[in-house]
Structure 1
Amino acid sequence: MLTLAVQAVLLFIVTTIDDLIVLSLFFGRGRGQPGTTRRIMLGQYLGFSAILITSLIAALGAQRLLPQEALAYLGVIPLALGLRAAWRSWRTPDHDDEAQFGAKRVTVTAVALVTVANSSGDIGVYVPVFVTLTGGEVLVCCLIFLVLVAALVLAARWIASRRLIADVLDRWQSVLFPVVLIALGIIILVTGGAFGL
């Protein structure tokens, strides 16, 4: 159970590290507005819940529709996403998340929509992991994820007041995210015996 919890925490961190930067930008944008933390928290929960529910439905469908030996090949998804992220990072190293936001007030809807748009690739990461777990293990992962969403928002609020940290995370997430996704895909492929590995 401890191993599962550690894996869930690491998976959450890897898939949401870019959200940390985006949420920090929301906090910067909403500085001085009453209720900013509440709106960002609610928006993040709504967006992340949509991603989680979609991942659960896709994983359930994959388990029911695909033969057991084919499930290991779902490791190709995070591998491809990692390679794509690495390619994009290499091709366009200078990016500005602030360009996503207008000068409007921070709203629950805006946070939820940006969370879904920014994390839609997470479905491709969660589904291959979920299909390899039992129902109880998936439930534990989901509960850990939901607790960590609050921690993510609070960490973003803290970071928003420390620009140097936000800059460092922004610089390294473009390297860390692809590397971990590629590693996750390879682990799923190898442990599942895909391609005779």
Structure 2
Amino acid sequence: MTNIEDMLVLTVFFREACGTRTANARVVAGQYLGFSAILVISALGAGLLPILATCTWMLPLLPSLHAAWQVWREYRAVGEELEHAPERGTGTGVLQVAAVALANGGNVGV
């Protein structure tokens, strides 16, 4: 099911790219970057598993830190106006595609 989901998400990204060459290149680069991150994390995880097993008590802190970061960013953004609306048809960024590819995972464990 992961491959089907990945194809659907990539179809949406390519549709947002509107056929422009640079936007399509960003989608492809983001997909490669995301999958490369999956491979790096898997390799690091295999080597660092004994060390990280002693630090699992810190995992519940991650959502709290993320929420605090978001609140701080929103607090700083209060009073600032949006200078201009984003242009239509520019597609998605490399890091956005990479984040989705990383979140979607892969068949690395298979």
TM-score when normalising by structure 1: 0.32
- Name which of 30, 36, 42 aligns with 1:43: 30
Alpha-carbon displacement from aligned partner over 1:102-154 (angstroms, at most 9, x marks no partner): x76322122111212222xx4xx635x5xxxxxxxxxxxxxxxxxxxxxxxxx
Q: What residue in structure 2 maps to residue 126 of structure 1?
A: 108
Deviation at 1:18, TM superposition (A): 1.4
> Unpaired segments of 5 or more residues in structure 2?
51-87
Q: In the aligned structure 2, how far is the partner of 1:108 from the partner of 1:22?
A: 14
Q: What residue in structure 1 maps to residue 48 of structure 2?
A: 61
Alpha-carbon displacement from aligned partner over 1:40-75 (angstroms, at most 9, x marks no partner): 11100111111111111112334xx4xxxxxxxxxx
Q: Which of the two has greater helix per residue? A: 1
CA contact (8 A) 2:34 2:98 kept: yes
CA contact (8 A) 2:13 2:91 kept: no
- Name which of 100, 107, 132 aligns with 2:93: 107
For 1:16-95, list aligned pairs within 5 A. Answer: 16-62=3-49, 65=50
Identity %: 39
Q: In the aligned structure 1, how far is the partner of 2:38 from the partner of 2:99?
A: 11
Aligned length: 72
The CA RMSD measured in Å over matched residues stands at 2.4
TM-score when normalising by structure 2: 0.52
CA contact (8 A) 2:33 2:98 kept: yes
